[in-house]
Structure 1
Amino acid sequence: MNPLTNFLGFEIFNGLNVLHILIVIWLVGVLIGMGRYVQNIISAKKIEDRIIQNSKCYKASEILNHFIYPDYDVYISTYIPSPMVLGLKKCILIPDIFFTESELANILNHEMQHLKQNDILFKQVIAMLTILYWWFPPIYWLRKNVNLYIEVRADEKVTESLNSIATLEYAETLVNVQKKIHTTDGIISSNLSTYLIGESLSILSYRVNYLLNKKIKQKTNKILLFFLFLLPILSNSIIFEPYFENSNSLDGTLSEQAFLNDNYLIQHQDGTYSLFNGKEAFYIDNPNDLIKSGIKVVKE
């Protein structure tokens, strides 16, 4: 790490080094990201209010025959492009198009699972991490795959108690919903994806395949998982220390080997020892470490 430390400490102008410049660039990126985040929150709130004002409101218990969730509000409107949960408001938004009773039940169960798991809050955490680590490319890959993760997790929770036939009907609902909403238009911009959880055509294929063959989640090699579990533990048990000599602090000193070659011990008749460097002798109280190091011993 010494070359990296030297690079970061390289002075560019009047006490300003590379590290200072990088910190300033990072802070500018964070401020820009936070500005966009706040702006999108304001936009999402305005759109949410507009949708709610132009929607028919129902209770989930009025639509579902078998109700096991909190009785969330359900808004139906032509402004809504697809079933979703928008913002931090505990409500469900559904487009004003025809769904069968079975499809509507599956849709509501799925969206209510998002509310139950607080998936919106999870997306906000990822948004904050993206703002802080905007300079780290893998964070964007993580953000891109968050939607896939939360959708598959919701599907898993909804279908875990269903039999194979009911699970197949649920997967069929995913396909039918996409067919019905594919041509609808809404007022929600893609920039607000952080503040909504909605249907996505890009991950539909994976979700359907997962439901039809749930064993896909068991394909990760167990040896690999065990290694990944041990990796953070092992990485903290091994310390790499680079070889580095500070020439300023070493002026006038001798290396260990030079010291052993240029000095020797004198063992006096009374059992005491002195260190002799060719010019002067110094009394040594405990010479054991020097003797173990291999220094020459001369008996008096």
Structure 2
Amino acid sequence: MTSPFGVTYIFLGWVISLFIGVLLLLLLLIRQIRYYRFVNTFSYYDISLNKLLHSCIDDEQRSTRVNIKYVDLNTSPFVKGLLNPTIFIPANFYSEMELIFIIRHELIHYRKKDLWVITAMEIIKCLFWWNPVVYFIRNQLDIALELSNDLSLLEHLDDIQKIKYGECIVKTAKYLTENSLKTMPSHFSLSFTGYSASLTRERIKHLIDFDRSKKKYIRIAIHAVMISLLILLSFSIMPEPKFAPPKEIEENTFDENDAYFVEHDDGYHLYINGEYWETVVNPDFLNEYRGYKVYKEEPR
């Protein structure tokens, strides 16, 4: 019989946890499919916007299949799609220079495979929903990816352009705050500003102090990697409580050659291979074990 604290129940707990994780993942996928259909309903291609996209793609990215669309929704610019990524930008809101900033920002996400990283992290978050460290890593990942993108883009901007880029971030954040936002980028997409005021402040602070930000980003990346390794190691370990199995007397597990009884006031003590097992109170028990030696005291 398995102990209430045995391995069987621990394994059952992992199975239930995994089942809940898979269910959460399926629900998330259903929501994302509905979201993509909803966004596509309000999006459209624009020739001038496509020309601007191709002007931002360098020679190394000429073979990319990145699409771009305007969208008639109150949302931050974002990119979605693993195999055929599409950049969505709110219509009639940004200047040409701001559009270039946004497009280049999202192209960096594409080039660094950040969408794949975000998707993998969302799957992990669903499967390990019970672990608070996963949620912490997910939040830190957002910060690290956006800071990485900002730093990559700022290296190619002059001082005036850096100011304009910062103004574009603030403009987008203000736009989202002032509008009643009913549409938010999905879990499997990357937003230009995100929906966290703290993240926006952090990005602006790094824009002001660009050189120190590079060092801080390296520290954040190292910490994120270390925490990720620790959490992955914890997933590979299943704790198993240590307990002594109960002694059970089963038929034909011993015979008269290795077992005997010792008579005491409280009953007959059964010894097997010289080790005490249990006390038999009912004398009729001895009828079943005729031929077994019975001592008045334990033999030396």
Verify same fold: TM over 0.5: yes
1:208 counterpart (193, 204, 207): 204
Query: Where does residue 3 of structure 2 map in the other structure?
Result: 10
Decide whether the 8 Å contact of 1:79 with 1:185 is kept in 2.
no
| C-alpha distance in structure 1 between counterparts of 2:105 and 2:98, whole Å | 11
| C-alpha distance in structure 2 between counterparts of 1:59 and 1:117, whole Å | 26
| Cα drift, residue 16 of structure 1 | 8.4
Decide whether the 8 Å contact of 2:169 with 2:200 is kept in 1.
yes
Distance 1:18 1:65, change over 3 A: closer
Distance 1:82 1:152, change over 3 A: same
1:175 counterpart (163, 167, 170): 170
Query: Where does residue 296 of structure 1 map in the other structure?
Result: none
The answer to whether the aligner puts 1:79 opposite 2:79 as a matched pair is no
The answer to whether the aligner puts 1:144 opposite 2:144 as a matched pair is no
| C-alpha distance in structure 2 between counterparts of 1:197 and 1:92, whole Å | 10
1:35 counterpart (21, 26, 49): 26
Decide whether the 8 Å contact of 2:80 with 2:188 is kept in 1.
no
Distance 1:200 1:67, change over 3 A: closer
Q: Deviations over 1:12-64 (max 9, x none)?
A: 7xx98421331232122222222223212322331243133xx2433655236
Question: Bigger relative contact order, structure 1 or 2, given CA contacts below 8 A and separation 6+?
Answer: 2
Counting aligned pairs with the same residue, the percent is 21
Q: How does 1:114-193 map to 2 (within 5 A)?
A: 114-185=109-180, 188-189=183-184, 192-193=186-187
| TM-score under structure 2 length normalisation | 0.61
Query: Where does residue 103 of structure 1 map in the other structure?
Result: 98
Decide whether the 8 Å contact of 2:102 with 2:192 is kept in 1.
no
| Cα drift, residue 93 of structure 1 | 0.8
| C-alpha distance in structure 1 between counterparts of 2:30 and 2:92, whole Å | 31
Distance 1:141 1:59, change over 3 A: farther
| C-alpha distance in structure 2 between counterparts of 1:175 and 1:160, whole Å | 20
| Cα drift, residue 126 of structure 1 | 0.2
Q: How does 1:217-296 map to 2 (within 5 A)?
A: 217-218=214-215
Decide whether the 8 Å contact of 2:78 with 2:189 is kept in 1.
no
| Cα drift, residue 245 of structure 1 | 9.8
Decide whether the 8 Å contact of 1:47 with 1:187 is kept in 2.
no
Decide whether the 8 Å contact of 1:59 with 1:74 is kept in 2.
no
| C-alpha distance in structure 1 between counterparts of 2:146 and 2:201, whole Å | 12
| C-alpha distance in structure 2 between counterparts of 1:171 and 1:188, whole Å | 24
Q: Deviations over 1:188-209 (max 9, x none)?
A: 346x333343422521100111
| C-alpha distance in structure 1 between counterparts of 2:245 and 2:4, whole Å | 19
Please give the secondary structure, in 2, of the residue aligned with 1:35: helix
Alignment length (residue pairs): 224
The answer to whether the aligner puts 1:67 opposite 2:56 as a matched pair is yes
Query: Where does residue 278 of structure 2 map in the other structure?
Result: none
RMSD: 3.7
Q: Which amino acid aligns with 2:115?
A: I
The answer to whether the aligner puts 1:23 opposite 2:17 as a matched pair is no
| C-alpha distance in structure 2 between counterparts of 1:119 and 1:59, whole Å | 27
2:42 counterpart (40, 44, 51): 51
Query: Where does residue 197 of structure 1 map in the other structure?
Result: 191
